[in-house]
Amino acid sequence: MRRILVTGSSRGLGLEFVKQLLEKGNQIIACNRNPLKYTDLLELKNKFEDKLILIDLDVSSKDSIDNAFTMISKEVDGLDILINNAGIRFGGEKYCDELGKLHKEDFCNIFSVNTVAPVLMVEKFLPLIKNGRNPIIVNISSTSGSIGRRSRKGGGYSYSASKAALNMITKALSVDLEEDTITVISIHPGWVKTSMEYTENAPLTTYESIKGMKRVIEGLSVKDSGKFFDWEGNELPW
């Protein structure tokens, strides 16, 4: 049994992570805004009881991260896996991510959730992560954030840049936490049908993506720290 914290667990990939990891017998700390509002999560809570802890967390708020840490520290004395999954495609203004349409506040909101929050989560939860068994930090990134792969036209400035910056955070954390033998990776879930914008025609289901990412995470060792994978375990260029 591993103790696993998942952010953005109300729907999409986060919810499926929670489901599949619970079914494997793990203890899950599912964090999202207003968890009691989501029937899927409440049904899982009824089924898995103590194995599922629901925590209210808005990752864009430092106070909320601090409060979540206080609550979680009362429940567990270590974290084996932190999955920084919460993410947004737009920060309020829809379809404003192309040259000529950029929107400053939206840009900053995306960075706040996709880039700043994951590193603040690691900073805050580090005492628990250091107490984990073979601890792993998983940052859910995207091929949109791969500078090496960038060739297509069509904007995506804020989202792509937020994930490219997240990838740098993965690399920096992997170096800083090497002595603590904490494995840190970025992973691309594939193009998956969820409630995120531009995924209506995506070929993958959340079930398939999470099944693949779970296999990749289970197979990780410290030598993989600082790498960028896809959901099938292929290494991606930064």
Per CB under 6 A, residues contacting ligand NAP are 7-8, 10-14, 32-33, 57-60, 85-88, 113, 140, 142, 188-189, 191-192, 194-196, 199, 202
Q: How far is the CB of 181 from ligand NAP (least distance, A)?
A: 26
- CA 92 vs CA 12, 56, 118: distances in Å: 19, 21, 20
Q: How far is the CB of 133 from ligand NAP (least distance, A)?
A: 25
The nearer residue to ligand NAP, 32 or 183, going by C-beta atoms, is 32
Q: How far is the CB of 47 from ligand NAP (least distance, A)?
A: 20
Q: How far is the CB of 166 from ligand NAP (least distance, A)?
A: 9
The nearer residue to ligand NAP, 67 or 199, going by C-beta atoms, is 199
The nearer residue to ligand NAP, 133 or 149, going by C-beta atoms, is 149
The nearer residue to ligand NAP, 8 or 156, going by C-beta atoms, is 8
The nearer residue to ligand NAP, 142 or 158, going by C-beta atoms, is 142
- CA 184 vs CA 43, 50, 71, 84: distances in Å: 31, 28, 24, 11
Structure token pair of residue 119 = 């590193």
Q: How far is the CB of 115 from ligand NAP (least distance, A)?
A: 10
